[in-house]
Amino acid sequence: MSDIPLTAAWVAAAVAGHIVSGDASRKLDGVSIDTRTIRAGELFIAIRGERFDGADFAAVAIEAGAAGVIVPRGTHLAADDPRRPAVIDVDDTTAALQSLAHAVRRESGTRVVAITGSAGKTTTKEVTSEFLASRYRVIRNRGNLNNHIGLPLSLIELRQRPDIAVVELGMNHAGEISTLVRVAEPDVRVWTNVGEAHLGFFASTDAIADAKAEIFERAAPSTVLVANADDDLIVARLPRYAGRVVTFGIDRDADVRATAVVDRGIAGTRARLSTPRGRVDIETPLVGRGNLANILAATAVAIEFDVPLAVVAERAARLTPASHRGEIVRLASGATVIDDSYNANPTAVTRALEVLSGAEASRRIAVLGEMLELGDRAADLHAAVGRAAAGNRVDLLFTVGGEPAALLADAAVGAGMSRDRVRHFATSDQAADAVAATVRSGDVVLVKGSRGVKTDRVVDRLKAERA
């Protein structure tokens, strides 16, 4: 089946726009919102951001070879440009991007799997894609392109007509998942969990759960929801879902459940999966029960698409973590790093500490960055993580960031860690030098923190020691 041909006329109809100049039959080779990376022949959509207005760069896009531009109504561009780009004006360029993505999604015939949750979205996306790729042509959104701009850009790639698209739906405010569901119109929805991420924008975890539950919207009776049976906040909302529910879990009975779980520390996890299609034993290098839950969710999706359990087991055995999401790094010194520095929230940090606790090591070292966007509960939640560090056999604790991170350190001391085994630093660069000077052969080092704290710099400093 051939790709969906994008022409100025087709795009204008999809976005309820008006072609003010140029050739309506002009072919458009792709879509860009950035003049720094646009390629000749592509369509430039002039998005208005917080710090810039894309309309100011429409002429630059044309100069770079754009075959067409979508601009706000009233934008002045030279009508006699010899390159004759198609100029389409609209009321709202962001809405136009979303409408174009939805039109491509509809035209493609691709089935869409959409994943939301407070933690594990990217890993679940990657694992699901790996399982499905055994039988189908699969496309996934790159990196963290999961918001009201990134998701539509990813969906426009469906003009290649893959069999299945696996995408993340991210949010930090109510209403955002609703928008993304409208654009993606997913056939299968996955809800991994509810955690304290973004509590600075919500009154409670219940409010976060309600915002995540927007993934229920626009569901038909045939639309599948893959849901975490171990999460009380998810389970309480399942009766509101209009489609068919498939559950996964470890601690409770579920359609796809892991039993006989063996935590092998940094070597990964072993378990038996019980499913509607039978049972299978799996062994995966992904560490911790959080990742096991992600694999269960992916398995539930794979079963919906008739992927055999033997294939699930085979692919689970050779999974690799996404960048900075539980990567195991062996250092020349003989130490090992658990690089989980991509992001952090209290639930995810506690799970990571449990993985560290199970690691065979001469010393267990935790480098924990401040967890951002926790609002009024930041102090209490950081203190709880400090107590968890003390209770999970951490031998040395380094904390990084502002006052909440210092409170984390103090709480660890209050829970039994000796003061000389806990150090606090204002920045990750300062912590990196101290950690690098401390680590020795046989140590296992967990590094985790919110992106804004840049704990990945600690990992980079340690990697520089690698042969």
Q: What is the rounded CA–CA span in Å between residue 434 and residue 252? A: 43
Lowest mean pLDDT among 40-54, 67-81, 112-126, 305-319: 67-81
Q: How many CB atoms lie within 10 A of CB 203?
A: 10
Percent of the chain with pLDDT over 70: 97
Q: Tell me what pLDDT residue 467 has.
A: 43
Domains, the chain, ordered by start: 6-93 (3.40.1390.10), 109-316 (3.40.1190.10), 327-463 (3.90.190.20)
Q: Which of 449, 453, 462, 463 is nearest to 368 (CA)?
A: 449
Q: What is the rounded CA–CA span in Å between residue 383 and residue 410? A: 8
Q: Where are the alpha helices (DSSP H) in 34-175?
A: 58-63, 93-108, 121-132, 150-156
CB 93 within 8 A of CB 72: yes
What digits encode the pLDDT tens for the residues 166-194?
999 999 899 999 999 999 999 999 999 99
Q: What is the rounded CA–CA span in Å between residue 453 and residue 371? A: 8
| Phi–psi pair at 225, nearest 5 degrees | -115, 125
Q: What is the rounded CA–CA span in Å between residue 167 and residue 215? A: 13
Percent of the chain with pLDDT over 90: 85
Q: Give 333-372 as a 3 state SS string.
A: CCCEEEECCCCCCHHHHHHHHHHHHCCCCCEEEEEEECCC
Left if phi > 0, otherwise alpha if psi is -120 to 50, otherwise beta: which for 324? left
Pairing assessment for the beta strands 443-448 and 363-369 based on DSSP bridges: parallel
Task: Report the pLDDT averaged over residues 400-410.
Answer: 98
Q: Which of 389, 396, 337 is nearest to 364 (CA)?
A: 396
Q: How many CB atoms lie within 10 A of CB 126?
A: 20
CB 48 within 8 A of CB 110: no
Q: What is the rounded CA–CA span in Å between residue 4 and residue 108? A: 7
| 3-class state of residue 425 by DSSP | strand
The angle, 0 to 180 degrees and rounded to 10, between the axes of the packed helices 456-463 and 428-438 is 40
CB 180 within 8 A of CB 151: yes
The H or E element containing residue 143 is none
Q: How many CA atoms lie within 13 A of 193 on its CB side?
A: 25
Work out the pLDDT band at 196, boundaries 50, 70, 90.
Answer: confident
**If you search the block for the tokens 């997913």, which residue do you land on?**
186
Rounded to two decimals, what is the model's pTM? Answer: 0.92
Res 1 pLDDT > 90: no
Q: How many CB atoms lie within 10 A of CB 277?
A: 16
Pairing assessment for the beta strands 68-72 and 327-330 based on DSSP bridges: unpaired
Q: Tell me what pLDDT residue 93 has.
A: 97
| 3-class state of residue 19 by DSSP | strand
Rounded to 10 degrees, the C-alpha dihedral 312/317/322/323 comes to -170
Q: Which of 329, 315, 332, 333 is nearest to 367 (CA)?
A: 329
| Phi–psi pair at 443, nearest 5 degrees | -75, 150
Lowest mean pLDDT among 212-226, 412-426, 451-465: 451-465
Res 408 pLDDT > 90: yes
Q: Tell me what pLDDT residue 322 has.
A: 83
CB 292 within 8 A of CB 271: yes
Structure tokens at 166: 């696996």
CB 435 within 8 A of CB 445: yes
Rounded to 10 degrees, the C-alpha dihedral 262/294/135/311 comes to 0
Q: What is the rounded CA–CA span in Å between residue 140 and residue 381? A: 33
Task: Report the pLDDT averaged over residues 333-343.
Answer: 94
What's CA 187's distance to the chain center, in Å? Answer: 19
What digits encode the pLDDT tens for the residues 249-303?
999 999 999 999 998 889 999 999 999 999 999 999 999 999 999 999 999 999 9
